[in-house]
Amino acid sequence: MAVILVRLCVSMKEESYLSLNDKIMMLPGQPQVNFQQFSGYVTVDDKKQRALFYYFVEAEIDSASKPLVLWLNGGPGCSSLGVGAFSENGPFRPSGDVLVTNEHSWNKARDNLMFLQRWFLKFPQYKHRDLFITGESYAGHYIPQLGELMIQFNKNEMLFNLKGIALGNPVLEFATDFNSRAEYLWSHGLISDSTYRIFTSACNYSRYVSEYYRGSVSSVCLRVMRQVTRETSSYINNYDVTLDVCTSSVLSQSKIINPQQVTERVDVCVDDETANYLNRRDVQKALHARLVGVKKWAACSNILDYELLDLEIPTISIVSSLVKAGIPVLVYSGDQDSVIPLTGSRRLVHGLAKELGLNTTAPYRVWFEGKQVGGWTQVYGDILSFATIRGASHEAPLTQPERSLVLFTSFLQRRPLPEISA
């Protein structure tokens, strides 16, 4: 299985548009479905024989007329297939030896869940299809840069009909995002008053991470982080402070976003189940996947040489340029995430709106999923918006699939989130 795993979702007018070699006849243990799936490789460098792996899912209804949606997970180096498609918003979830239907899969929003730069060279019929890019975590770096690149390409030739960008619990500005963790942990009772004071004065989290990735953690930061870790305990899921952990495997989605101990009724062992499923030879064969340079598939990998300190480069300025270019941007936060807390994201969006001179067009208010509050939202200039998903984790579609689907559908259709209970 390739390590750069991009889950893309596209629509097809006719099956012949995609290589028949990429068509998935049926995944092992998969229930019957009424949509097609494809997976394979899109070459990005012929000379160096580099390619990106993709997994494509048709919309359940009228896929030929639906937009394209690209989903990207973070890390960097974490799998959009294993984390995104099989744990969050794809059509199936692994359960033992079989797959079960995800009733809140995003292809039920009547969109086609794919993309890559060279995808359009291989399949030009998608060239002018409406395109949305979504993702979470370190995708707060990937997605704005990708959007900016598309706008640059469009100056020479209209290749990408980019209609919107949605960023979930994203890393947008290193210090603001990371230093909001102390207040979040304290306000949720995970650390004491005295620890909160030293976590905001003696050594804040951005300083610790910066030192950690330079290989020179100071004695004061080491002391502070040991105290924070001792009080929060290794049996708390920092990606969702209210979620139980899989006690057989306390895993981390990303050593970069969270160099502490981390994990994922929500199947709290979904990481293990996904890894077991995707490491099966019959599954890899069905996905047309090849292990390249690794002996075992893992949700996150360091086989690619990422520049870790790029984490400190802000991308909020790129988001600003996208909004100036007329691209609608939604920043949303699972409100139980202490890794990239909602408070930092909300502060960044509000500051960006102020910088751009955008007036509040929809004041801060609750939104609903069914008869329950789905979260809170605020809109600026009808082009920049912030929303929370109540009860959701860093990986919002995993822990609050219904509410995430409502948010995503509203985003695609450019309509306000529901204001009253259904």
Residues annotated as part of the active site: 137, 337, 394
CB-based burial, 350-388: b 16+ in 10 Å, e otherwise: bebbeeeebeeeeeeebbbbeeeebbbbbbbeebbbbbb
Compute the distance between CA of residue 267 and CA of residue 125 in angstroms, rounded to an integer. Answer: 39
Non-local (6+) Cβ contacts of 385 within 8 A are 328, 329, 330, 331, 349, 362, 377, 378, 379
Dihedral of alpha carbons 21, 27, 32, 37, sign: negative
- The amino acid occupying position 292 is V
Place of tokens 């050594």: 203
Comparing CA positions, the residue from 199, 212, 262 lying closest to residue 234 is 262
Comparing CA positions, the residue from 391, 338, 353 lying closest to residue 369 is 391
If DSSP codes are grouped into helix, strand and coil, which group holds residue 43? strand
Dihedral of alpha carbons 127, 133, 139, 140, sign: positive
- Do 135 and 73 touch, CB atoms closer than 8 A? yes
Compute the distance between CA of residue 14 and CA of residue 294 in angstroms, rounded to an integer. Answer: 35
Q: How far is CA 160 from CA 134, 148, 232, 360, 411, in A?
A: 15, 11, 45, 29, 18
If DSSP codes are grouped into helix, strand and coil, which group holds residue 365? strand
Cβ neighbour number for residue 185 with a 10 Å cutoff: 24
Compute the distance between CA of residue 133 and CA of residue 290 in angstroms, rounded to an integer. Answer: 26
End-to-end CA distance of the chain: 43
Please state whether beta strands 130-136 and 5-9 pair in parallel, antiparallel, or not at all (unpaired): unpaired
Residue 88 structure tokens: 């969050």
- The amino acid occupying position 357 is G
- Do 334 and 376 touch, CB atoms closer than 8 A? no
